[in-house]
Chains A and B, each alone.
Chain A
Amino acid sequence: MSGPSDYQPSNPALQWIERRLPIIGLVHSSFVVYPTPRNLNYWWTFGAILSFMLGMQILTGVVLAMHYTPHADLAFKSVELIVRDVNYGWLLRNMHACGASMFFFAVYVHMLRGLYYGSYKEPREVLWILGVIIYLLMMATGFMGYVLPWGQMSFWGATVITNLFSAIPYVGESIVTLLWGGYSVGNPTLNRFFSLHYLLPFLIAGVVVLHVWALHVAGQNNPDGVEPKTEKDTVPFTPHATIKDGFGVACFLLLYAWFIFYMPNYLGDADNYIPANPGVTPPHIVPEWYYLPFYAILRSIPNKLAGVIGMFSAIIILCFLPWLDAAKTRSSKYRPLAKQFFWIFVAVCILLGYLGAQPPEGIYVIAGRVLTVCYFAYFLIVLPLLSRIETPRPVPNSISEAILAKGGKAVASVAIALVAAGALFLGSLQDARASEGSDRPPGNKWSFSGPFGKYDRGALQRGLKVYKEVCSSCHGLSYIAFRNLAEAGGPGYSVAQAAAFASDYKVKDGPNDAGDMFERPGRPADYFPSPFPNEQAARAANGGAAPPDLSLITKARSYGRGFPWFIFDFFTQYQEQGPDYVAAVLQGFEDKVPEGVTIPEGSYFNKYFPGHAIKMPKPLSDGQVTYDDGSPTTVAQYSKDVTTFLMWTAEPHMEARKRLGFQVFVFLIIFAGLMYFTKKKVWSDSH
């Protein structure tokens, strides 16, 4: 991309094309012979990782859009149907949803790398600004994508974020109406967000081309911050950088796959498994983790308009970085003070992220204000000041000289610190979801937990019996069809058994030729009929509280794990908060209300229900349901069985997910190993 190429292909057909469109020469000069500094470290592989992630998001997104329905009444269900019925739909969805988080994780590493090594300085200012534009576009795309599943957090996230624009004086309200396409967030909003969510990634791809172009004109920066002078300072892009990037991508894929196959909901919010309801606000509205530092800045400023300005300027200020930091030395490696302030800045960002997930009260607000000041002070005071007072260490004359002087560095310790800090940051979301004033549900041993977890077939069959005889009189199970009972990874019934089970139900069908609705026996393709025709009927029949549909209940309920548990959870793959909570609520009823707790009329005391007053009377009692297989007919056993069953209804393909995950991990580890040794061989004469 940096000038005309003199590359001549040997194949006559390629020569014919090359004379008319020198595209092979362009690729050859940009990605084959392009000189890349010899001393690049692994932080430089994140550019390739980001390109890979962008491609991944576009590919999975295009297929997901083929199955998605952008309508307020259908969007939530269509996403569930993607996960349940589309071939490998669960995989596509996990790749896309976790992919967004991984994309942001990689972009933060990439940006901090640029910050540490001074990659924004002359002559790379335009390169840096293009990067900030990509980041802004990514934030808009990520936000609109999060709205599409149309869960509670999608809806309320959209409401809060679009309302930010109402802070603009005079024209704010009109801008918000224009964004909504109505008088509130609704179907027109969803439609335009879908359209823009499809458009923006291609804009990002376009700006990425400019970003790479600018990079190839100015040349890559490097850890020592001295420009390559002779041929000895560089190596050709292919094979050196290609193979190193390949190894970096392979390692990154290991982390990505950990989320896709084992922790798909670790970074998400349980509330988003509840369909959007414009009449109920969730207790804590928390954005996705990658927006948390900016959300913290927004909330720590008490004035609405000032808060919005503060939040946006926290990003826009990055554009001015090349002029705020006037130091001649690029790399912080040779700037003893800048290096320390850089790490303080990283800590400030992580802490801001943590605060963004906390309720805005007391000490959190004060800490948020202090850290907001620190954030801006880094750019407006520390960097301009340092460039005047700091005495940098001598910079090597050339890259080859720097390589010769190189000793073992503390890269490993930095990486560990970063992983630990990252885990704190990622997990802070869960901390925010602490359910107020209720006991923590006790942990259980579930057959489906862990990397090799499988559903206990007996428990699934018993749980189905408990649901049918007890729960189904009030709770629906509308995402489960009778055919699912015979599918692999489920309760293990035969197709004939599932059909027989279905025929016990009466299903409304029609209209027939006479225009009348009629009832017929259920078929395997029918869904479990709901006990109430609509939510209002359910509400009216149950004293004002509609019994929730149980299809997704074990994913839609959670409780805060708190620090430091959420960090361990990442490694132990603990993600059974939902089942633990459901089982605890079923067993948490107490006849005697403890002293000092008042329960409203028509409610019952439950130890584990948030607020303790639950409208559901104690549903299970010993001996209520008979078991054919000799299992104990106790409330504890019933709860465990029905919870296992409800975990299956929430995620029918969990066994396939974990099985494929294991295969992918075996492949990735071997692949990464091969890449590593190939890289070592390629680089053996260059170090």
Chain B
Amino acid sequence: MNPDASTIAAGAPIEVDLTPVAEGQDIKVFWRGKPIYISHRTKKQIDEARAVNVASLPDPQSDEARVKPGHEQWLVVIGICTHLGCIPIAHEGNYDGFFCPCHGSQYDSSGRIRQGPAPANLPVPPYQFVSDTKIQIG
């Protein structure tokens, strides 16, 4: 009952062009049926994410560990709430990040859980920069 061959094949890596995404905007792409948020973060959002005391977080992880070096403005996360799988809304909540409308979990501008019932940060999918303006997810 595990995924069949066609499902696995359809889950192959995809390339996303980042040029149309302006600063402060984000796009949602689907990969393996999952929504992936790609946020072009503002300076303010990056600073906020880095100013937090990492040890005080429910799921401690530094912002540096969640983005690719040299591409700090880009945050790529799987937009599925780690509580029960709803899709959080971008640019909402108290932390300049994501807000899940189902059970009220709030994530910051690095996709880290800050408040609510979710146990973990929004996961970062496997991806790399093919060029400065293009990433490959998967």
Give me the interface of A with B, judged by CB distance under 8 Å.
Answer: 156, 159-160, 162-164, 166, 177-178, 180-186, 188, 192, 278-281, 283-285, 299, 302-305, 307, 359-361
Contact = CB atoms under 8 A, between A and B. Distances in A.
Interface in B79-119: 83-87, 100-104, 117-119
Contact of A280 (B11, B32, B87, B104): B87
Interface residues of B, number: 25
B2 interface: yes
B33 A183 contact: yes
Contact of B87 (A164, A182, A279): A279
B50 interface: no
A180 to B, nearest CB: 8
Given A181-B4, A182-B33, A361 B104 contact: yes
Contacts of A192: 1
A163 B85 contact: yes
A224 to B, nearest CB: 46
A178 B84 contact: no
A248 B104 CA distance: 45
Contacts of A188: 3-4, 7
Given A186-B33, A279-B87, A281-B101, A302 B2 contact: no
A361 B100 CA distance: 13
Contacts of A180: 3
Nearest to A308: B84
A361 B2 CA distance: 37
B134 interface: no
Nearest to B101: A283
A281 B87 contact: yes
Contact of B84 (A164, A183, A184, A283): A164
Contacts of B1: 178, 181, 192
A182 B86 contact: no
A181 B86 CA distance: 19
B34 interface: yes
A509 to B, nearest CB: 31
Contacts of B104: 359-361
Contacts of A181: 1-4, 7
Contacts of A160: 84-86, 102
B33 A184 contact: yes
A399 B28 CA distance: 70
Given A183-B33, A360-B104, A281 B4 contact: no
In this complex, which of B1, B7, B83, B84 has the most chain A Cβ atoms within 10 angstroms of its Cβ? B84
Contacts of A186: 33
A322 B88 CA distance: 45
Contact of B35 (A278, A299, A304): A278
Contact of A281 (B3, B11, B32, B102): B102
A183 B11 contact: yes
B101 A299 contact: no
Contact of B3 (A183, A305, A307): A183
Shortest 3 CB-CB contacts between residues of A and residues of B: A184-B33, A183-B32, A163-B85
B119 to A, nearest CB: 5
